[in-house]
């Protein structure tokens, strides 16, 4: 009986398994280094699991930027709509939020994962946890570290779905990179995506404002501009708006060594009007009161102006209005990869055929976040993991049929 190993029990590996257990007469073995599968998937469900997005497919595909040509065809086979239908098939309903984002009705991942693992086991998938893949033996067998020592398993096809390099405590530690690189597989360096940034705040600002949201605000970097909110941390910035702009900010930082996010702290007000209002006599008003009354700026926004502008600008209405509309916030570094929501970089698509099989390692397929793509939050991460996992499962099936 042909044996398929799926290494990595996250959404990409599990959906690949689902495709393979549907075929009679083959053994599907799922290995994971952790004591249970799907730990990061469960984490993704903590704050409300945004599983996909309801926007038109062409817009959806556009979110994958320079990788849309490779991810697009996979999404056409198993995209947002098929994913929703698949979830419904597990007895879990979904709803579309006001932003167009799609969530399971209960917002959580746990009921979905429970039903899914149950169905996979019922269909014959065998789970082997606490099995850390270490690479290949000389005879091609898969090597695993287990609590009882090292073990080797020979299989007919392998799907690697090992995840990215963030949240190592949930299993996705990127330790697979040297294993593939040693076999000559091109792997783009793993980098933080949807990540926070370090800012050199003064001790005073950090103590006073860490944990506070900045909203509403428009942030821009290069030609990207977006409205939303973000949070001040003790050493930097994080949150939705920062994550959305993190890819260009990270890339500029990497290329030039410095990068600046520009903030419009008063998105609803024109600069000229702000300048006129701020030029009105201040009388005995403090600067804080003047800013609040004339520009609607207070709290953390006022704190940002004091932190980032020279004192003379704070008293020059024209310059202050210009700064409120385009305040430069220099960032000094990305937060470490392990803290990021997702990972950019990974196995190069050029190393894979259209079935996601490694051209130089026939019978070995790759799927999920370990591939070299990135996308913003909004359900795009999970949807691409499902689409690539599904494609790798189908590819392995075709491979087994052709070699068996
Ligand atoms: C806090 C947080 C919130 C998120 N929220 C969302 C969201 O709302 N929507 C969204 O679309 N995405 C979200 N994501 C991203 C999403 O969770 C990931 O993109 C997705 O889980 C990646 O799936 P994967 O199957 O490729 O890898 P993973 O889910 O990372 O699974 C990889 C598996 O491989 C195993 N593994 C790794 N190395 C080995 C080895 N050597 N041997 C054996 N097993 C190994 C790991 O233990 C793990 O179980 C979130 C992520 C985080 C951290």
Give tens-digit pLDDT for 294-330: 999 999 999 999 999 999 999 999 999 999 999 999 9
- Burial readout 271-300 (b: 16 or more C-beta within 10 A, e: otherwise): beebbebbeeebeeeeeeebbbebbebeeb
Residue 106 pLDDT > 90: no
pLDDT score recorded for residue 48: 87
Residue 15's pLDDT is what? 98
Could you report the per-residue pLDDT of 24-76, keeping only the tens digit for each? 888 999 999 999 999 999 999 888 899 999 999 999 999 999 999 999 999 99
Cα of 387 vs centre of ligand 1, distance in Å, is 14
CA distance 195 to 17: 30
- Top mutation candidate among 131, 382, 390 for ligand 1, by most atoms within 8 Å of CB: 382
Q: Which atom of ligand 1 is nearest to the CA of 380?
A: 11
CA distance 40 to 90: 20
List all residues 6 or more positions away from 35 whose beta carbon is below 8 Å from its beta carbon. 129, 130
Cα 172 to ligand 1 centroid, rounded to whole Å: 6
Is a pLDDT exceeding 90 seen at residue 107?
no
- Atom index in ligand 1 nearest the CA of residue 163 equals 27
Cα(163) to centroid of ligand 1, in Å? 5
Ligand 1 binding site (Cβ under 6 Å of any ligand atom): 7-13, 31-34, 37, 39-41, 43-44, 49-50, 132-133, 161-163, 167, 171-172, 175-176, 341-342, 368-369, 379, 381-382, 385
Rounded to an integer, what distance in angstroms lies between the CA atom of residue 330 and that of residue 382?
A: 31
Question: What is the pLDDT averaged over residues 95-106?
Answer: 93
Q: How far is the CA of 23 from the centre of ligand 1 (A)?
A: 26
Percent of the chain predicted with pLDDT > 90: 94
Cα within 13 Å of Cα(122), Cβ side = 6
Please determine, for residue 347, whether its predicted confidence score (pLDDT) is greater than 80: yes
Closest CA to 308 of 198, 197, 201: 201
pLDDT for 158 equals 98
* pLDDT value at residue 98: 87
Centre of ligand 1 from the C-alpha of residue 121, in Å? 21
pLDDT of residue 289: 94
The band of 362, judged by pLDDT with boundaries at 50, 70 and 90, is very high
Q: Is the pLDDT of residue 404 over 80?
A: no
| Residue closest by Cα to atom 2 of ligand 1 | 44
State the pLDDT at residue 328: 98
- Kindly report the pTM of this predicted structure: 0.96
Spatial contact of 49 and 385, defined as CB atoms under 8 Å apart: no
Give the pair of three-digit tokens for residue 218: 């428009």
- Quote the pLDDT of residue 90: 95
> Percentage of residues in the chain with pLDDT exceeding 70?
100
User: What's the confidence (pLDDT) of residue 282?
Assistant: 87
Mean pLDDT of the 220-245 span: 97
Atom of ligand 1 nearest to the CA of 34: 47
Of 9, 10, 54, the one to substitute when testing ligand 1's pocket (max ligand atoms within 8 A of C-beta) is 10
Q: Peptide bond preceding 216: is omega within 30 degrees of 0, i.e. cis?
A: yes
CB 165 within 8 A of CB 337: yes
pLDDT digits (tens, 9 = 90+) for 173-215: 999 999 999 999 999 999 999 999 999 999 999 999 999 999 9
- pLDDT (tens digit per residue) in 263-303: 999 999 999 999 999 999 988 889 999 999 999 999 999 99
Using the mean position of ligand 1's atoms as its centre, give its distance from the Cα of residue 231 in Å: 24
Q: Which atom of ligand 1 is nearest to the CA of 174?
A: 38
- For ligand 1, the distance from its centroid to the CA atom of residue 303, given in whole angstroms, is 37
The CA 41 to ligand 1 mean position distance, Å, reads 6
């Amino acid at each position: 009986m042909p044996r398929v190993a799926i290494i990595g029990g996250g959404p990409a590996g599990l959906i690949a398994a689902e495709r393979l257990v549907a075929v009679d007469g083959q053994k599907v073995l799922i290995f994971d280094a952790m004591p249970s599968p799907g730990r990061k998937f469960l984490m993704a469900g903590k704050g409300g699991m945004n599983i996909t997005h309801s926007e038109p497919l062409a817009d959806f595909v556009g979110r994958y930027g320079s990788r849309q040509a490779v991810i697009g065809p996979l999404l056409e086979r198993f995209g947002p709509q098929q994913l929703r239908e698949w979830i419904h098939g597990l007895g879990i309903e979904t709803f579309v939020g006001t932003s167009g984002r799609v969530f399971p009705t209960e917002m959580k991942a746990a009921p979905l994962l429970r039903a899914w693992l149950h169905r996979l086991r019922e269909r014959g998938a065998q789970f082997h946890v606490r099995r850390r893949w270490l690479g290949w033996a000389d005879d091609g067998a898969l090597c695993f570290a287990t609590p009882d020592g090292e073990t080797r398993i020979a299989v007919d096809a392998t799907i690697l779905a090992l995840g990215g390099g963030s949240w190592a405590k949930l299993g996705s530690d990127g330790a697979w990179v040297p294993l593939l690189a040693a076999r000559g597989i091109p792997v783009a360096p793993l980098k933080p995506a949807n990540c926070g940034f370090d800012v050199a705040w003064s001790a005073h600002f950090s103590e006073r404002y860490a944990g506070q949201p900045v909203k509403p605000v428009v942030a821009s970097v290069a030609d990207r501009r977006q409205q939303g909110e973000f949070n001040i941390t003790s050493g930097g910035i994080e949150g939705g708006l920062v994550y959305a702009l993190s890819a260009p900010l990270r890339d500029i930082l990497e290329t030039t060594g410095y990068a600046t996010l520009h903030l419009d702290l008063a998105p609803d007000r024109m600069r000229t009007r702000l300048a006129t209002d701020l030029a009105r006599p201040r009388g005995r008003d403090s600067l804080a009161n003047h800013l609040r009354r004339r520009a609607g700026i207070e709290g953390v926004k006022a704190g940002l102006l004091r932190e980032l502008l020279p004192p003379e600008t704070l008293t020059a209405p024209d310059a202050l209005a210009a700064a409120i509309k385009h305040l430069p916030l220099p960032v000094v570094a990305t937060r470490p990869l392990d803290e990021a929501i997702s990972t950019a970089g990974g196995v190069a698509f050029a190393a894979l055929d259209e079935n996601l099989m490694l051209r130089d390692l026939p019978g070995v397929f790759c799927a999920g976040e370990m591939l070299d793509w990135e996308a913003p939050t909004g359900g795009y991460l999970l949807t691409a993991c499902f689409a690539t996992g599904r494609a790798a499962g189908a590819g392995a099936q075709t491979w087994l049929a052709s070699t068996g």
